[in-house]
Amino acid sequence: MPPNNKLFDVASVSRNSLVLQRRKAEQRQASEAAAPSAPIFNLSLGNDFLHSTNNIKNSSRAPDSLSLLDPSRTAGPDMPITTFCTHYELGDPIVRKLTENGYSHARMLRFVQISELTQMEFRLGDIAAMKDAVEQWSVSTSN
């Protein structure tokens, strides 16, 4: 805002003073420099939006990315974990890791998450072998 002075007052001067002309030119330059090249839109999204996008992320996640047992299948027959591993040709390191972590029966495998296998230091091949064994052992729910 220019100071309250006759040099800055457009109404009191018939012709624009040099000071006023310079000030107007500076304002034009500043407004041209500040003008964005593209419009900017500010949107306000409520908390419900965040909640709904989390649901979309969770629902679009591949089913086998979380659980060892695919949601479209149910647990197969129960047996001791050592028998399960022998039947599905899983190696001794897998048997050892499962028993060390308290998995005593095959029925417990329906609760195992892939991230838990990683925490138990299963190697990628071991995880693939477990997925294959559980898929063979489980029963499809779709007919």
What pLDDT digit, counting tens, does each position of 46-62 carry? 666 665 545 544 444 44
Delineate the domains of the chain, giving CATH numbers in brackets.
1-36 (no CATH), 58-140 (1.10.150)
Choose the weakest-confidence range: 59-68, 81-90, 100-109, 110-119: 59-68
What is the rounded average pLDDT of the residues 6-21?
64
41, 55 contact by CB (below 8 A): no
3-state SS assignment for residue 124: helix
73, 138 contact by CB (below 8 A): yes
3-state SS assignment for residue 74: strand
pTM of the model: 0.54
Task: Say if residue 112's pLDDT is above 90.
Answer: yes
> Of 98, 60, 62, whose CA–CA distance to 80 is shortest?
98
In this prediction, residue 109 carries a pLDDT of 93
What is the rounded average pLDDT of the residues 97-117?
93
